Amino acid sequence: MPETLPATRCGNTLLRWGEKTYIMGVVNLSPDSFSGDGLGDDIEATVDQAQRMVAEGADIIDVGGESTRPGTEPVTINDIDDELRLVIPAIERLAAEISVPISIDTYKSGVATRAVKAGAGMINDIWGLKKDPAIAKVAAEAGVPVVLMANERDAPPKAGIMAKVLADLQYGIKTALEAGIAPQDIIVDPGIGFGKTLEQNLELINRLAELKRLGKPILLGTSRKSMIGMVLDLPPEKRLEGNLAVTAIGIANGADIVRVHDVRQTELVCRMSDAIIRRGSVDD
Instruction: Give the active site residues.
Output: 225, 259
Contact 43, 91 (CB under 8 A): no
Q: Would you put residue 262 in left (φ > 0), alpha (ψ -120 to 50) or beta?
A: beta
CA nearest to 24, candidates 247, 276, 273: 247
C-alpha to C-alpha distance for 167 and 157, rounded to whole angstroms = 12
C-alpha to C-alpha distance for 81 and 146, rounded to whole angstroms = 22
β-bridge mates for residue 8, sequence order? 15
CB-side neighbour CA atoms (13 Å) of 228: 21
Q: Which contacts (CB < 8 Å, 24+ apart) does range 192-195 have?
A: 192/220, 192/221, 192/222, 192/225, 192/227, 193/70, 193/222, 193/225, 193/226, 193/227, 194/68, 194/126, 194/149, 194/150, 194/151, 194/152, 194/153, 195/151, 195/152, 195/153, 195/154, 195/155, 195/156, 195/157
Contact 20, 274 (CB under 8 A): yes
